[in-house]
Amino acid sequence: MGTHLPTREGWKERLVTRRTGRGQIYVLLSVEKRTCDNCGWGTEFATLWASPADDIERLTWCSSCFNARSEPAEPSSLDGVRRRQLLERARTAPLLLSWNGARAAIDDLERRGLL
Ligand SMILES: [Zn+2]
């Protein structure tokens, strides 16, 4: 695993959601940045997402190379209070603007200086 890189805190205040091709909503729980072990110069993003049915996905990708993976994660190891709060915010939002992909969502946070 690569070297941990610092992140800003601004994204934690935001409700970041994405919608899958089947219409399933996922909320962003956490994001970490580290150096990519595969190419050595890219930034690897490791993100955790939760659906209302408590499916947790860990999506990881590199900004520079083809290194990318998706794997399920166990909800038991996560902060349940924060997860439920975020899902409730998503459920009750009058207008939920969701990204089509994890990468687009994270790129937007980076652009806005929130990550
Ligand atoms: Zn890489």
Q: Using a pLDDT cut of 70, give the percent of the chain over it.
A: 100
Q: pLDDT tens, 36-65?
A: 999 999 999 999 999 999 899 999 999 999
Q: How would you classify residue 48: left for phi > 0, otherwise alpha for psi between -120 and 50, otherwise beta?
A: beta
52 CA → ligand 1 middle, Å: 31
| Domain range summary for the chain, segments of one domain joined by + | 4-111
Specify the pLDDT at position 68: 95
Specify the pLDDT at position 77: 72
8 CA → ligand 1 middle, Å: 21
100 CA → ligand 1 middle, Å: 22
- CA atoms of 10 and 76, how far apart (whole Å): 26
This prediction's pTM? 0.92
Residue 6 scores a pLDDT above 80: yes
Taking a 5 Å cut-off on Cβ, the residues next to ion ligand 1 are: 36, 38-39, 42, 62, 64-65, 67
2 CA → ligand 1 middle, Å: 10
Specify the pLDDT at position 63: 94
